[in-house]
Chain A
């Protein structure tokens, strides 16, 4: 085999090769220091990009939450928008999209965000007034964390009993932790090098996606390991010891 190109090396890193292709490229890399060096270079560049993006993310303002129009705006505007919606869905959507693009910082942007909720109702033929009064859907928030030296640790701290935790292995380079159906204060995410703490809050569920390629990954609850990655499977700690859960594991905090 000739030297592996960037395309093959990247595809190897990202798990995008067929089994036969992967075996061939790995075999070549074992006997070719130049290609092994190139693979390391690309891995370092990839890690640098991921770390840099986390710096960027930390500076990002959170997207403004989508909440019912009745909460965000006064009654007059609700009535005005409702009338507009009743006339034509397209008018609202154009107003919202165009207004937001043309006037950043304008109150029109509030309409645009809320237009999603009302637009849905119109396209489904539902009563827009009822939609305006409906409570906001429970929010969810998530965060990613990249492995460091092939390791990821997710620590759940002081989370309420009854929180459903779903862990699964995914074909992605970074882990993704998402608090779902937040019904009170949002959990705090504290991200460190190859680790993340999810602290408190009031989410009904927590989804944890762990990279399949990472060598070591653990999910611990208040200092006790509940799930650990063991090769291609997850092992769930139970009262009787550990059980093989395959690529997905579920448990409830407090059980």
Chain B
């Protein structure tokens, strides 16, 4: 395997996936590099590397969640701040949006979140099924349920946020 090429091709997507999955840049950074270090000890066809990386990374997230529990989630919430913020009002709006998305994603069980985010990365249902340990025939159903759940939670929170803003302004 050409590890250099694989790293440069796959690291950005793995980092993005982990950041979306955990909501925390440091965690995403750490787990992405740990996953690539583990890749060094593996030998497999190149076509299998991408799903392998995402599967191992998700397992590391799952293990981390089990170990760190509530403390990690609180830390993630505190760290979740916009990277660049031109104006105070934009900063507030953007931070609110980000928090809204993060909270909506957090309402979805990890396995379903994994499927949603792997779909966004263009994985096939077969690859997603192997990574999540579910039957290939159930992937579409699980995705549908997770999408509906995300939209429902997001819109409910968005409505609540607007009500709070209106109340504050009123």
Interface residues of A (CB under 8 A from B): 5-11, 14, 16, 41-42, 44-46, 48-50, 52-53, 55-64, 66, 93, 96-97, 100-101, 104-105, 109, 112-113, 115-116, 119-120, 123, 137, 139-142, 144, 170-174, 176, 178
The residue in B13, B82, B83, B120 that gathers the most chain A C-beta atoms within 10 A of its C-beta is: B120
* B100 / chain A contacts, CB cutoff of 8 Å: 52
* A128 to B143 alpha-carbon distance, docked (Å): 45
A-B residue pairs in contact (CB < 8 Å), sample of 25 = A10-B139, A10-B140, A10-B143, A11-B140, A49-B116, A49-B120, A52-B100, A52-B101, A52-B150, A55-B101, A56-B19, A57-B16, A57-B19, A57-B20, A60-B19, A93-B40, A96-B37, A97-B34, A97-B37, A105-B26, A109-B30, A115-B37, A171-B122, A172-B121, A173-B119
Chain B positions near chain A (C-beta within 8 angstroms): 3-4, 7-9, 11-13, 15-16, 19-20, 23, 25-26, 28-30, 32-34, 36-38, 40-41, 64, 80-83, 94-95, 97-98, 100-102, 104-105, 116-117, 119-122, 124-125, 137-141, 143-145, 147-148, 150-151, 154
| Cβ–Cβ < 8 Å partners of B94 in chain A | 55, 58-59
CB distance from B132 to the nearest CB of A (A): 14
Q: Which chain B residues border A171 with CB–CB below 8 Å? A: 122
Q: Is A170's CB under 8 angstroms from B122's CB?
A: yes
- A16→B30 contact, CB < 8 A: no
Checking B8, B23, B121, B140 against A137 with a beta-carbon cut-off of 8 angstroms, the contacting residue is B8
Q: Which of B11, B40, B122, B125 contacts A63 (CB 8 A)?
A: B11
Quick one: given A11-B125, A48-B154, are A59 and B83 in contact (CB under 8 Å)?
yes
- Per the bound structure, the CA–CA distance linking A45 and B154 in Å amounts to 10
B37 touches A52 (CB 8 A): no
Judge whether A9 and B140 touch: CB under 8 Å: yes
Contact (A120, B4) CB under 8 Å given A44-B151, A49-B120: yes
| Other-chain contact of A52, B80, B104, B140 (Cβ < 8 Å) | B104
Decide if B30 touches A5 in the complex (CB within 8 Å): no
Q: How far is the CA of A59 from the CA of B34 in the complex (A)?
A: 23
Report how far A228 CA is from B124 CA in the complex, Å: 26
Distance, CA A11 to CA B125, complexed state (A) = 8
Chain A residues with CB below 8 A from B28, complex form: 60, 63
User: Given the complex, which residues of B lie within 8 Å of A56, measured CB to CB?
Assistant: 19-20, 23, 98, 101-102, 105
Q: How far is the CB of A62 from chain B (nearest CB, A)?
A: 8
Q: Say yes or no: A101 contacts B12, CB within 8 Å.
A: no
Would you give the shortest CB distance from A40 to chain B, in whole angstroms? Answer: 12
Determine if B154 and A66 form an interchain contact, defined as CB atoms under 8 angstroms apart. no
**Cβ-defined contact, A116 with B30, below 8 A:** no
